[in-house]
Amino acid sequence: MGGWLRRYGCERICLAFDVRLDAQDVPRLKTRGWQQQTTLSLWDALAHFVDAALKHVLCTDVDRDGMLAGPNLALYTQALRRFPHIHWQASGGIASGSDLCALATLGVAAAISGKALLEERISREELRLFLPNA
């Protein structure tokens, strides 16, 4: 993957990770459509790309995805602290404009709010803060 980042440029590739927190709140990677839990932590997986100029990461907390219970702010706070050079994209649990504001306040670069948008839980006025043409 490091070769891809060098070949195509770090601005053109976003790595996406699905995670589930273990009993110690360590984000462990999920694979095969969230069916297989791995022992690899998100932090260890990202350590493989430290020298590859990785810039964009999408991280989905699978326990919150589609639940509309709010994003895992603690996870993204830790992600930003551990890897401040990465532009983090948050996914899972976003239910409202205030969730988007909380993520933006943390410094998260982007968010996926699929179900909240489908169910029209985020107003156009709230979206305009992030998408001026909404």
pLDDT score of 94: 97
Q: How far apart are CA 21 and CA 115, in angstroms?
A: 22
Residue 99 burial (C-beta neighbours within 10 Å; 0-12, 13-18, 19+): buried
What is the pLDDT at residue 91? 98
The answer to whether residue 21 is domain-embedded is yes
Q: How many domains does the chain have?
A: 1
Domain assignment present for residue 122? The answer is: yes
| Residues with pLDDT less than 70, the chain | 1-2
- The answer to pTM > 0.75 is yes
Is the CB of residue 21 less than 8 Å from the CB of residue 27? yes
Q: Is residue 26 part of a domain?
A: yes
Within a domain: 133:
no
CATH number of 17's domain: 3.20.20.70
Is 113 part of a structural domain of the chain?
Answer: yes
Domain assignment present for residue 45? The answer is yes
Asked if the structure places residue 124 within a domain, the reply is: yes
99-121 pLDDT, tens per residue?
999 999 999 999 999 999 999 99
Name the phi and psi angles at 126, rounded to 5.
-65, -40
Q: Is residue 37 part of a domain?
A: yes
Range of the domain at 46: 2-128
C-beta atoms surrounding 27 within 10 Å: 23
Residue with tokens 């932590």: 41
What does 51-64 look like in DSSP terms, one character per residue? GGT--EEEEEETTT
Q: What is the pLDDT of residue 111?
A: 97
